[in-house]
Structures are given as C-alpha cells and as structure tokens.
Structure 1
C-alpha cells in the first residue's frame, strides 16, 4: 500500500469547507524543517518514508477522499465543485502533448464507500482530479502516461544504441576485410604475412624499408639469410686454382734462375 493521506467525508460538509482543508494539506506538505542530518527537507518526509520508485514527479503524498453518503449533500456535486476550487493544487502542466507533469502538485483522488464495498480496494473505482476515467489506486496516484512515455523513450534509446553498435561492428568488419585484402604475401612460399611481420617491413622513413627481406615471410627470410651466410663463407674452387697458379710460376721461375 502506498503512502496516502485519507479524508473520510460523510457528505455533511460543503465543497468550500473541504477546499479549505486541502489548502491546509498543501501548506503542510510545503513546510520544510531541518532533518537530523542538518539538511532541509519537507516536514512530512521526516515522519513518513516513500520509496524512490513511488515518488516520480510528485513530491507531495496523494490525498484520498472517500465519500460515504450519509449526509444530505450529493457527493457528485461536491466533487465537481471541489475540483474547480482546488485546481491550482492538483493541475499539472502538459509535456509535449504526451503526458502531464505534476511537480509541486498534490494528487487528489476521490472514491465512494459504496464503490469500495462493491469492487474492493483493488478495483478501478478511483478518480483523480483532472482525469476523465476511473482507475485503480496505483494508476490514479501514479502517472501511467509518463511511465509509458519513459518506457518508449528508453526503448527508442536502446534501439539507437543497438543500431550504433551494429554500425560500429559493420565498419570494423569492413576495415578488417580491407586490411586483409592488402596484407602482403610471401614471394617465396605464398604465405600471408603475420601482423608482426607486416609491421616489421613498414618503411622506417624516407621510403626505406626497415627489413632486409621485405618480400619474404619470417621462415623464408631466415632460410634466405642462412643461405647468404653460407655462400659468403664458402670459397669457390676457381678462386683456389687462381691462387695456386702464381705460386707455381713463382717457384718455377726461382728454380730456373737458380740453375742458370
């Protein structure tokens, strides 16, 4: 059960008397005092607690008027007059034609004892001032149109977020595809370069590659380097022959001169 201020009327008092009582309710709701923590708050909040989920856009607790037709006054007439006299307390302002805001207002809800007996407190027998139809109690003291508006806006925001994330994924996939299409291929074995190998062959500046074998993958590069080193260390046979001939000539010349 939500927090309610309840006024029972046996149909003896006029709409003007009830309107004066509602004025007192408003003054009471607007009165502020310092709480135990030193902060200024509405006085009624120091005695009653309202969950955040039930506060919504209405800082004042709802007032429920229950009419019990015992006296001579017609409750329907009194209710119509009372709504007119207290309009400044309960009337909200339109928000973009979608719902009403009730900041600083006092929700006033009316019902009849006979209706409560017939339908029970969970029935749609409550009429909030400013609304054309009966509602359940929670709907009457709440703001279903705003809740529907907020839910719709939240759903639209979530849909936009999903679309945005999907667009980001699409762009990322396109970039990956373009990158893969440009990934270098080893000129020897045809293997695509790894990311590390691709980065290693990027020019270091002035268009000069940072790598000695930019057209080869890591494995082929190592084989190429090994082959080059082996080639440098090996001495060709024709070079050995060319070195041996002068020695023989030199020796032969020396011997022939010695004989002479």
Structure 2
C-alpha cells in the first residue's frame, strides 16, 4: 500500500529510470517513443488487440504510468500534444538533474529543457526522435516474448536479426545549434545579446520548437562542442557543415541576432560547402 501511495501508478524504479534516461537525451518525447527505445520487446506484445491504437495504448501503459509517477514527484511535466494528438513529456529542472545521474553525465552537459512543446505540435523534436530511433534500431529481447502469437514472434526475430544500429541511447545527445550559454551568460560567444532582450524575447527563443534549433549529436561531440559557437567549433563531419551553417544563420535571422566577424568567417566557410 505504501508503494502505491508513493507511486500511484505502481511503476517500478526501472520504468521510471527508462523515462528519465530517454527524456534526458531527447528532451521531448511521447510515451510511444520512450517505450520503443527503452523496452523494444513491448512493441511485439498485445498484437491481438482490436486495433493499432489499442495495441499502442497497451504497450505504452507502463511507461505512461512511470511518467505520471515522476510527475507526482515533480520530475516531469505535460508538454502539450503532437500534431497527431499524442501527449508530450518533458523533464523539470529536478528531473534533468535526476536524468544526469542515470546517464552518468555532468549537469552542465545536460543542456536546457524546451517548454510548451505542444503549442507548435512538436514537429521538429518528433522528427529528431524518430531519426535517433532509426539510427539505434533498438532490438527486442526475444526471451521476454515467450507465448506471444507466431506472427508477433516472427516480426520480433526479424528485428533482432537485422543489422545493428549505430550506438545506444547514451551514445547520443540533443543539442541546440545556437549555444545556450553563449546566448545568456556570455553574449560575446553566441552574439545573441541577451542583455538587451526582453523577458518575452528570451522566452520565445527558449521555447522555439518550430525552427531548426534541436540537433542530434553524439555524446562525445556534444561534450566537445559545449557552449561554443561556429567560430570555435565545427561539426567533425564535414558533410554536415552546409546544414549546420544554414541552420545557425537561419536562427540568427529569425531572432534578429548580431554576428561577430569570426562567426561570419566560420559560417561562410561552412555554407561554401553547399552544393546548391
């Protein structure tokens, strides 16, 4: 009874850890995305439910419950809904700190948290998340699927036998193109001139999920980038220079931010790699 009082949804430490780790990396996610990354075997259960919607509801129930329990502890919040109507989950500041422990990362490596993702339908973060899932290709544990229908087992075996993906969840981090520290704490680095922004402008920038601010980075690249702008850091993958340079320039334009001479030189060199 005490366990139910503390965690009304009856979630386990493992399930709550799943939610913390996935949100610590992705920043914004649905219960479906959390489940597919953390417990891929559940994607092959409940296959006899009447409809795909009923199947999704059943296979995500445990992680939805875990997110709800974390919400009661002040670690997650409801971030609105996707354009498809799915609830979006976010971590609070306390949740971000807890996720850092689970991911074995320093707090300053965790970045910030977007708010009110559902206001814009969270289209860009959802695309980022699906890209991460496609890169990782989470594989189901077949031992956890004993007794499932033959069709479900066959699909699970095909997924388990498929080529390995790239890394695991902890291999990745999501990062903003414009460095947050350079924006707020040291305007000279990011040239966002936060000192002359109104509170409304800062809020708009921090909550912007429409423009290409959120990027996928390997954990090691994210750490090497830290809060640096393009004058001091460029993606190690030269094929990404064009996209990174254009996205960075676009965000500067949208929010009418100044650009230093060093930034202009660096951005020009990256955009010059674009083929069209």
TM class by shorter-chain length? under 0.3
Q: Could you say which structure has the higher strand fraction?
A: 1
When the two structures are superposed, what TM-score results if normalisation uses the length of structure 2? 0.19
Q: Radius of gyration: which is bigger?
A: 1
> Which protein has the bigger helix share?
2
